[in-house]
Amino acid sequence: MGQKKLVNALVAVLCVLLGVALVTQVRRTEVGDTLADQRPQDLVVLLDGLQRREAALRKEITDSEDALHRLRESGDRSAAALEEARQRTVALGVLAGTVPAAGPGLRLTISDPSGQLNPELLLNVLQELRGAGAEAVQIGSVRIGVDSAFTGDSGQITLDGVKLTQPYQVVVIGDPPTMDAAINIPGGVIDAVERKNGKVVSKQEQRVEITVLRPPREPRFAKPAN
């Protein structure tokens, strides 16, 4: 009889234990600390996967940073190239007459009271100035370009189809003393003008401005050859 009681008590104890264990396990699962239950080999596989993923992500970071670096560098380079191209455009524009120019230079006033000056003489003046390093020239209201032409007769000179009025005003940018010396050479253009009863007044200035422009011309036949 006593043994039966003992067995019954054991049944009760086991059932109590089962209840406690059940609740404990459910609670633990609910907490979600599943890593704690995992077997070492599973954890190793998990860790391995995580490490591989970390390595892949790190590689991606490095690649992206490299790409960023490269793009930034090429951006700098193309910005510098653009700036240089812009400066060249401006410099060429001054020579071609498509942009306004300012700088030291001369103001010439050529008067021709007897109307004997011919287009060739004015062309000589221009050549002489160019030879002395003139960079931008304006005669009357015309900007001189590479295709400028003096036409007409003595006293009736046309420049690029525009009739010049007396006295001929020449504004030229370049080194003032050099150009002044060039036109004043004995037997030079000033002598030639004075032989035809004309008169040249040359004034050196630290700053003259040429605002008249030539329209830019697209070459019809020539193309850059590279």
Question: Which residues contact another protein by CB under 8 A?
Answer: 4, 7-8, 10-25, 27-28, 36-37, 39, 41-42
Alpha carbons within 13 angstroms on the beta-carbon side of residue 140 total 17
Give the CB-side neighbour count of residue 62, counting CA atoms within 13 A.
6
> Of 2 and 224, which has the nearer Cβ to another protein?
2
CB of 51 to another protein, least distance (A): 21
- Read off φ and ψ for residue 118, nearest 5 degrees: -105, 165
Whether omega for the bond prior to residue 186 falls within 30 degrees of 0, making it cis, is no
Nearer to another protein, 42 or 63 (CB): 42
What span, in angstroms and rounded, lies between the C-alpha atoms of 135 and 97? 10
Q: How far apart are CA 88 and CA 147, in angstroms?
A: 21
| Shortest Cβ 47–another protein spacing (Å) | 16
Q: Smallest distance from the beta carbon of 58 to another protein, in angstroms?
A: 31
Closest CB to another protein among 19 and 131?
19
Question: Between residues 35 and 225, which has the closer beta carbon with respect to another protein?
Answer: 35
User: Smaller CB distance to another protein: residue 13 or 71?
Assistant: 13
Q: How far is the CB of 23 from another protein (least distance, A)?
A: 3
Q: Any residues with CB less than 8 A from the CB of 210 and at least 6 apart, and which?
A: 100, 101, 102, 136, 137, 138, 143, 171, 173
Quote the least distance from Cβ 1 to another protein, whole Å. Answer: 13
- The Cα 185–Cα 201 span in angstroms is 14
